[in-house]
Structure 1
Amino acid sequence: MTGTTLAQLSSLAVYSAMGVLTLAMVMYSVYLARIAPTRTNSRVADDRELVAVGGAEVPAATNGPGLAAVDAEPVSMGARRAGGIAWMLTLLGTLLTVAGVVLRGLEVRRWPLGNMYEFAIVGCMLTLLTYVAWASRRDLRWLGLFVVGPVLLTLGLAVTAWYTDGSELMPSLRSIWLAIHVSVATLSVALFTIGFSLAIIYLIQARLEAADPRPASFMDRLPDSRALERLTYSIHVVAFPLWTFTLIAGAIWARQAWGAYWSWDPKEVWTFVIWTVYAGYLHARATTGVRRQSVAWIALAGFGCIIFNYTVVNMFLVGMHSYSGL
């Protein structure tokens, strides 16, 4: 196959993935709408109905670890069907995204990590693969909308604002460290993206649990705030060491490419800023007396720094890392 044909097939796969993921997002929305409890039977996890057992009061059984005991009714058939369709569409969208990345790699005959467009589609692929792998072990359909949404937005920006034709790498990028350093960086960003979504859901859930009375919504079917906060923390615990490796590997590569481990390049500086913010998140999380909501906001600030690093730094700040391709 010629490079032009591979480029066309790669673009077709990415556009097809966007269409499929759009349908998946719609079905996840339907799923969340149909699992919403009625106002008369909703309860907050921290205010579970008490039942008398042998003269003593104990909490009623929950719908699963960390889930609110909303009601005794199972999830409706319509909700299960919508969730199943959304899951299958997510799998298909993931496969199409993988195909788009592989075809791009075949087109350029290298790791497809040489410009912003390639970073974006690889990052989306890793985000989807992480979600699919995690959701294969536990029911995470409630999280699907909050993962597919950011992925779809990123793919949209990739094909409309960041797309560039396949080209040769700059001499300083022709190194095995491209596959090591940039791949790990992209994987850590994928994990941080899911962590960002979880932090948002946690903050919403915590606010709803503090409301009196609590308004009924699909959030009553999601894990309670404590479980969501633990999930948020657990994924950041995995992502942070990967970002640490990214920082160290980048310094080693910089020594080989430019003769210095650190040159105060804007990309280097903001990579360290991101590391510092997430280190602050983990430190605050381990500090007694710091409110969990405040800790979550630090995680959101860290993701904001990632967005700034990926967009503003790549596109507008001139430095040795000016590889956006735009």
Structure 2
Amino acid sequence: MPVNETLSQYSDWSYTTATAIYVLALVFFLIEQSFGSRGRSAAERAKARQLVGAGAPTPDTADAPPAPRGRAERIGRMGASLLVLGALLHLAALVLRGLATHRVPWGNMYEYIMAVTFIAVVTWLYVIRKFPVRHLSGFMLLPVVILMFLGGTALYTVAAPVVPALQSYWLVIHVSAAATSSGIFLVPGVASVLYLIRSAYDRNPARFARFGARLPEADVLDRVAYRTTVFAFPLFTFGVLCGAIWAESAWGRFWGWDPKETTAFIAWVVYAAYLHSRATAGWRGTRAAVINTLGFAVTVFNLFFVNLVTTGLHSYAGVG
């Protein structure tokens, strides 16, 4: 069936608008991180508690105008609302792309990045409802915005049917599992990096003095990273297994050590090692966070270098 150019254009506009809204939300979240009460250092929070205990008026009870921290937190809530709006437009871009091409909207690198970043945003929206980490949303949105900018410029592909090799129901099953797990893995990757910064500050407050003090407690970041990885890992495993079955159907073998297959296997081993180390008392904390960060690095390497630079059966090099 021919491509619906009108729906394709609407998809592109939705994608561009969602990216712009994410950038605006990123600015709002950075303001909250810098000036909001959750971003205060431990010393500032302790001093505030002492003042309240001594009978000092709080921003809620004082007759003075709202404090800058209160305004910053309202800006943070506005950022969360913008994030929801951006996610809805992001979803519209995906759906319209699929309707325009009459297939699932992850048949090329541009569409794959669109799907991965959407899953990352939805995962983060769930995380900020469960954990007090909304003020960290800027750090989460930064890689999302970078990925979407690259996807919408250097990697953009005009809507078109996929090549015959991809015209299979396995495109729905295998690639959707890979995109979903990759998007979720973006969250624990960022959380683990922040955990390493926070734990370094806890050990030596002179290190990352201004930034580390504004992060949540290390235990909170550790739980965010662990729980999201626990959710993503089975999906990633399922995607790898489905890829092997599709490879046997398409190429007559389950595994051929193609660069994509090899890197995916390395990532699987690293994440399995993280979950094992996290479940072992002697390897919790910093060591486990380092392993999870390594897994995140391998995932990003697999997404860009292997897909776009190396030559293999899974490569997007030269495709756009």
Please classify the TM superposition score into its range, dividing by the shorter chain length.
Answer: 0.7 to 0.9
CA distance 1:159–1:263, shift in 2 (3 Å): same
Which residue among 111, 123, 127 is the counterpart of 2:116?
Answer: 123
Alignment match, 1:28: 29
Alignment match, 1:110: 103
Which residue among 77, 96, 100 is the counterpart of 2:93?
Answer: 100
Note the alpha carbon deviations across 1:239-290, whole angstroms, 9 max, x for none. Answer: 1111111111111111111221112211111111110111121222223423
Residue 238 (1) aligns with residue 231 (2): yes
CA distance 1:202–1:157, shift in 2 (3 Å): same
Q: Secondary structure at the match of 2:44?
A: coil
CA distance 1:209–1:10, shift in 2 (3 Å): same
Runs of 4+ in structure 1 over 3 Å off = 72-76, 136-140, 212-222
The percent identity for this pair of structures is 36
Residue 187 (1) aligns with residue 188 (2): no
CA distance 1:314–1:2, shift in 2 (3 Å): closer
Question: In the alignment, is the contact (CA less than 8 A) between 2:3 and 2:159 conserved in 1?
Answer: no
Question: In the alignment, is the contact (CA less than 8 A) between 1:37 and 1:216 conserved in 2?
Answer: no
Q: Which amino acid aligns with 1:13?
A: S
Aligned length: 302
Separation in 2, partners of 1:40, 1:314: 47
Note the alpha carbon deviations across 1:58-81, whole angstroms, 9 max, x for none. Answer: xxx9xxxxxxxxxx8789321221
Separation in 2, partners of 1:240, 1:215: 31
Q: Secondary structure at the match of 1:112?
A: coil
CA distance 1:283–1:23, shift in 2 (3 Å): same
Separation in 2, partners of 1:19, 1:137: 26
Separation in 1, partners of 2:163, 2:223: 42
After TM superposition, the structure 1 stretch with the greater mean CA deviation from structure 2, 289-298 or 307-316, is 289-298
Alignment match, 1:64: none
Note the alpha carbon deviations across 1:76-110, whole angstroms, 9 max, x for none. Answer: 32122111110111011111111111111111110
Q: Which amino acid aligns with 1:120?
A: I
Separation in 2, partners of 1:141, 1:166: 35
Higher helix fraction (1 or 2): 2
Alignment match, 1:6: 7
Question: In the alignment, is the contact (CA less than 8 A) between 1:42 and 1:216 conserved in 2?
Answer: no
Which residue among 214, 224, 227 is the counterpart of 2:220?
Answer: 227
* Superposed counterparts of 1:1-326, under 5 Å: 3-35=4-36, 36-37=39-40, 41-42=44-45, 76-212=69-205, 217=210, 219-220=212-213, 222-290=215-283, 292-323=285-316, 325-326=319-320
Q: Which amino acid aligns with 1:104?
A: R
CA distance 1:4–1:277, shift in 2 (3 Å): same
Deviation at 1:4, TM superposition (A): 2.1
Separation in 2, partners of 1:239, 1:210: 30
- TM normalised by structure 1 equals 0.85
After TM superposition, the structure 1 stretch with the greater mean CA deviation from structure 2, 243-252 or 168-177, is 168-177
Separation in 2, partners of 1:214, 1:308: 29
After TM superposition, the structure 1 stretch with the greater mean CA deviation from structure 2, 199-208 or 168-177, is 168-177
CA RMSD of superposed structures (Å)? 2.6
Gaps of 5+ in 2: 61-66
CA distance 1:92–1:287, shift in 2 (3 Å): same
Q: Which amino acid aligns with 1:19?
A: A
- TM normalised by structure 2 equals 0.86
Q: Which amino acid aligns with 2:287?
A: S
Separation in 1, partners of 2:315, 2:209: 49
After TM superposition, the structure 1 stretch with the greater mean CA deviation from structure 2, 241-250 or 140-149, is 140-149
